[in-house]
Amino acid sequence: MTPVERLALAPPRAVEPVAGRARIRLEPEDFEVIEDLGFEAAGQGPHLLLRVRKRNANTGWVARELARSIGVRDFDVGYAGLKDRHAVTTQWFTVPARGRSGETRTPTDWAGVQGEGYEVIEAHAHNRKLPRGALAGNTFKILLRDFEGDAAMLDRRVNEIARTGVPNYFGPQRFGRELSNLRRAETGRGGQGLVWSAMRGLLFNAVLAERIQGGSWVELKVGERANLDGRNSTFVVDAVDETIHSRLAMLDIHPTGPLFGTGEGGVGGDIAALESEVLARFPEFVDPLQEARLEPARRPLRVAVRDLSLEWLEPARTARLSFRLRPGSFATAVLRELLDVENAAGHSEDEHD
């Protein structure tokens, strides 16, 4: 693998070796994702909030089907995040209560509405279109089949990860099928949206990998920005004292890495120097991002894995791994810290925003 391929597909783990290997996604039901908005429907308003269960269907396609069924523009349908196609997922959409024909639909009208690969299981009146990113997190239930390895070690590693979290790498989904988004950037055929996101994701992974190899990915340094768990807020670390150490141990705060953009990155000291040195290795991504003049941002280097459990359904052979992640983090980041997986569905097409 080239350095870029390694950072996209197989970056350094926090702990080696893994406990073994297993197969995932042999059936859509083997990979379940449940979206948590973190708020209730308003109960009134010009929109309807629909809870939809889908199987072997991607989010964009379901959104278009919902738009077609009520006769509105695709843009009029809102959803908080993308969910994987090769899975059974439950997520929320909003649709206008009134279609373009003037017909108004009530929550009752939507109960049980279904199409190829999806079914509406709840409907409520709501006051606004659901914007991207408006969710609290995602719960994953993943069946691990044909496990080969040390079952006791896997149990121990699950317990350790519950205490320490895992590296918050961008998963292969961010970089496109066969790294197509990065290939476009490397050949000078970059563009907006997905290609810029892929380049920023690769640079973030590079900084995180460097800090894992240096042993500082769960430490905070003076001059860097710390992230408040479960929020997008950060603050500059002026001193590393017992309070900082305690909050790190409690998974209340996390070190951060760059989502590269033009302008001040908001960090100083040794961390600023380390990030500059790492980013300088990838001019093929840094240069076009500078030309794009995107706003710089920070992303936590570590993600807490909440409600983590491993249930053995067949002793030392088949198990169900369940956990909850903040939005924008990848289930692959958890799986790869535990074992090597064979993904029967190939790389996921969607990210779990």
Domain ranges of the chain: 3-8+165-303, 39-126
Asked if the model's pLDDT at residue 169 lies above 50, the reply is yes
187 — pLDDT class (breaks 50, 70, 90): low
Q: Which residues are catalytic?
A: 84
How many residues in the chain? 353
- What average pLDDT does the chain have? 92
Q: Give the class (CATH, top level) of 3-8+165-303.
A: alpha beta
The confidence band for 54, taking pLDDT boundaries of 50, 70 and 90, is very high
Tell me what percent of the residues of the chain surpass a pLDDT of 90: 82
Digit-coded pLDDT (tens) for 268-315: 999 999 999 999 999 999 999 999 999 999 999 999 999 999 999 999
Q: What 3-state DSSP class applies to 94? A: strand
Residue 199 near residue 240 (C-beta atoms within 8 A): no
Q: Determine which helix (DSSP H) or strand (DSSP E) holds 250, and give its type and residue range.
A: none
Using CA atoms, how far apart are residues 350 and 12, in angstroms rounded to an integer? 23
**Tokens (6 digits) for 247:** 């909050």
Question: Is the CB of residue 278 less than 8 Å from the CB of residue 298?
Answer: no
Multiple choice CATH, 39-126, 3.20.20.10, 3.40.190.290, 3.30.2350.20, 3.40.50.720: 3.30.2350.20
**Is residue 169 a contact partner of residue 11, using CB atoms and an 8 Å limit?**
yes
Q: Which of 136, 137, 47 is nearest to 93 (CA)?
A: 47
Kindly report the number of other CB atoms within 10 A of residue 199's CB atom. 28
**Distance from chain centroid for Cα 3:** 23
pLDDT band with cut points at 50, 70 and 90 for residue 266: confident
